[in-house]
Amino acid sequence: MFYELNDQQKEFQKRVRSIYEREVSPLVEEYERKGTFPVQLFRVFGEEHLLCLRCPKEYGGPGLDKISECISMEELNRICVGIGAGIMVQGGLATDPILHFGSEELKRTYLTPAVRGEKIGAFALTEPDAGSDAAGIRTNAVKHGEGYRLNGYKTYITNGTICDFMTVAAYTNPSKRGTGTNLFVVERNDPGFSVIKKLEKLGNHSSDTAELAFDDCDVPRWRMIGEQEGGGLEQLEKTLKSGRITYGARSTGVAQAAFEDILSYVKRTQRRGEPLRRSQATRFILAELAMSVEVMRYTTYRGAYLFDQGVATMKDASIVKLFCTDSLQKIVQKAMVLQKSAGLMIENPVQRYLRDARLFKFTEGTSEIQHLVIARELGL
């Protein structure tokens, strides 16, 4: 049973907080304004062993547990969600399938450089006509010579324009809906691959999001993840299970940031000649926010603990994602309402938290999809 972080995890938390405050905080405003990802951070985090935290030592990773990954993601997203998105994809969606199902050659060629920050990864599942319905994708991979020829489109892909490689979902057998898929590693310089356009978003401005095309894009056989055709669905499920727990940590990080801001605002603000902190209504709101942030954090740690024990189900992961992303919406709304017009000003980070938080309800499975997953495991 999980009760508290151990000494090693507490030390790790202190270390990552100070690294992110030193390396990320000074970049946030500039890169949010420019709408680009500060790619130099991949090398910085690689040297600090903060990429792909669950990757074992034999492939160059620190071999930490899911709880540590959540600690790191909470601290990074407390500072910047957009930058958190690119780093999360690197250590999760892009490399998890290679870590768990890839050949030795795939691990040495992509995972180890990703851990060092020498190569940037992306994950391409979503298509213009297939988001929530992953089995509805149309990208196909047809046997061609010694490998496969990929054709199709992908959209909303994080790290899409900055990546060196991407893990791409495609049908090898379209007659088997869902189960006929495989994941392939495509390199950005592979002929037939192109970026259609970079996308601009409501929030996460410093994360890179793009629409991609695969037009007779030839991929050698060894870059298919897994031994046989089919099996892509199982690989996706394991990857998404881990990712949905990470969203608990990301949400907790933003909630913590919003809470710290509003607490400081209430402590320094006077309304009608009285310190705002004397108002009982305000004190009750702050007490509720503090409670929500704690419950989000422990819900996330519980999910991560179950994941580390190898017993987390898709329902466990969906509960973490749904509860934490929903709680976050309420927290950022309250933080905005308490500050009134001041909260709407661009220099006030609360407006950024509100925009960034909204996106959490869509990415890595929408809230409706989390409801469906939970209901399905309840036998409904």
Ligand X SMILES: Cc1cc2nc3c(=O)[nH]c(=O)nc-3n(C[C@H](O)[C@H](O)[C@H](O)COP(=O)(O)OP(=O)(O)OC[C@H]3O[C@@H](n4cnc5c(N)ncnc54)[C@H](O)[C@@H]3O)c2cc1C
Q: Classify strands 121-124 and 165-171 as parallel, antiparallel or unpaired.
A: parallel
Q: What is the set of active-site residues?
A: 364
Which residue from 36, 112, 173, 366 is in contact with ligand X, where contact means CB under 6 A? 366
Instruction: Pick the closer one to ligand X by CB: 140 or 204.
Output: 204
Single-letter residue type at 132 = S
Which residue from 80, 87, 157, 312 is in contact with ligand X, where contact means CB under 6 A? 157
* Nearest to 221, CA basis, from 275, 291, 146: 146
Residue 374 touching ligand X (CB under 6 A): no
CA gap 317, 304 in Å, rounded: 9
Phi/psi for 340 (5° steps) reads: 50, -140
* Nearest to 60, CA basis, from 129, 117, 126: 117
Which among 151-159, 176-184, 296-304, 349-357 is the span making contact with ligand X, rule CB under 6 A? Answer: 151-159
Instruction: Pick the closer one to ligand X by CB: 278 or 376.
Output: 376
Residue 201 touching ligand X (CB under 6 A): yes
Residue 224 touching ligand X (CB under 6 A): no
Single-letter residue type at 4 = E
CA gap 184, 353 in Å, rounded: 35
Secondary structure (3-state) at 242: helix
Instruction: Pick the closer one to ligand X by CB: 256 or 363.
Output: 363
Quote the tokens at residue 195: 């970026």
Residue 184 touching ligand X (CB under 6 A): no
Residue 326 touching ligand X (CB under 6 A): no
Sign, CA torsion 218/224/228/233: negative
What is the contact mask toward ligand X in residues 256 to 295, using x (rule: CB under 6 A)? ----------------------------------------
- Asked whether 330 and 224 are in contact (CB, 8 A), the reply is no
Residue 140 touching ligand X (CB under 6 A): no
Instruction: Pick the closer one to ligand X by CB: 99 or 124.
Output: 124
Single-letter residue type at 1 = M
Which residue from 20, 45, 123, 353 is in contact with ligand X, where contact means CB under 6 A? 123
CA gap 220, 274 in Å, rounded: 70
Minimum Å gap between C-beta 245 and ligand X is 16
Taking the CB of residue 191, how many other CB atoms lie within 10 A of it?
Answer: 9
Single-letter residue type at 77 = N
Minimum Å gap between C-beta 204 and ligand X is 5
Minimum Å gap between C-beta 155 and ligand X is 7
What is the contact mask toward ligand X in residues 86 to 115, using x (rule: CB under 6 A)? ---x--------------------------
Which residue from 37, 45, 156, 323 is in contact with ligand X, where contact means CB under 6 A? 156
Which residue from 118, 368, 375, 376 is in contact with ligand X, where contact means CB under 6 A? 368
Q: Give the binding-site size for ligand X (rule: CB under 6 A).
A: 22
Instruction: Pick the closer one to ligand X by CB: 40 or 132.
Output: 132
Minimum Å gap between C-beta 132 and ligand X is 3
Minimum Å gap between C-beta 168 and ligand X is 9
DSSP per position, 248-311: HHHHHHHHHHHHHHHHHHHHH-EETTEEGGG-HHHHHHHHHHHHHHHHHHHHHHHHHHHHHTT-
Which among 29-37, 73-81, 229-237, 358-366 is the span making contact with ligand X, rule CB under 6 A? Answer: 358-366
Quote the tokens at residue 294: 């704690």
Minimum Å gap between C-beta 82 and ligand X is 9
Secondary structure (3-state) at 166: strand
Distances (CA, A) of 111 to 121, 160, 233, 261: 9, 18, 21, 38
- CB nearest ligand X: which residue? 131
Instruction: Pick the closer one to ligand X by CB: 123 or 153.
Output: 123
Secondary structure (3-state) at 117: coil
Binding site for ligand X (CB under 6 A): 89, 123-126, 131-132, 156-158, 201, 204, 209, 359, 362-366, 368-369, 372
